[in-house]
Amino acid sequence: MKKNLGKIPAVYPMPVLIVAAYDENGKVCAMNAAWGMICAMDKIALFISEGHKTTQNILATKAFTVSIADKEHMDVADFFGIATGNKMADKFERTGYRAVKSELVNAPIIDEFPVVMECELAEVVDTENMYCIVGKIVNTQAEETLLDEKDRVEVEKLNALIFDQFKSGYYVTGEKAGKAWNAGKDLMK
Domain of 21 in residue numbering reads as: 14-175
Q: Is residue 183 part of a domain?
A: no
Q: Which residues on neighbouring strands pair with residue 37, listed in sequence order?
A: 45
CA torsion 135-87-83-116 (nearest 10°) is: 30
Strands (DSSP E) found in the chain: 14-15, 17-22, 28-33, 36-40, 43-46, 63-68, 99-101, 108-110, 115-126, 131-142, 161-164, 169-172
pLDDT band for position 105 (cuts 50, 70, 90)? very high
Q: Is residue 45 part of a domain?
A: yes
Digit-coded pLDDT (tens) for 3-21: 999 999 889 999 999 999 9
Cβ atoms within 10 Å, residue 111: 13
CATH of the domain at 58: 2.30.110.10
Q: Is residue 126 part of a domain?
A: yes
Digit-coded pLDDT (tens) for 131-176: 999 999 999 999 999 999 999 999 999 999 999 999 999 999 878 8
Angle made by CA atoms 69, 121, 84, in degrees to the nearest 5: 50
Q: What is the pLDDT of residue 31?
A: 97
Q: Is residue 116 part of a domain?
A: yes
**33, 49 contact by CB (below 8 A):** no
Q: What is the pLDDT of residue 140?
A: 98
Q: What is the DSSP letter of 71?
A: G
Q: Is residue 4 part of a domain?
A: no
User: Which SS3 state, helix, strand or coil, does residue 106 take?
Assistant: coil
Cis, peptide link before residue 108, omega less than 30° from 0: no
Cis, peptide link before residue 13, omega less than 30° from 0: yes
Digit-coded pLDDT (tens) for 49-72: 999 999 999 999 999 999 999 999
Q: Is residue 93 part of a domain?
A: yes
Q: Is residue 44 part of a domain?
A: yes
Q: Is residue 8 part of a domain?
A: no
Give the chain's domain count: 1
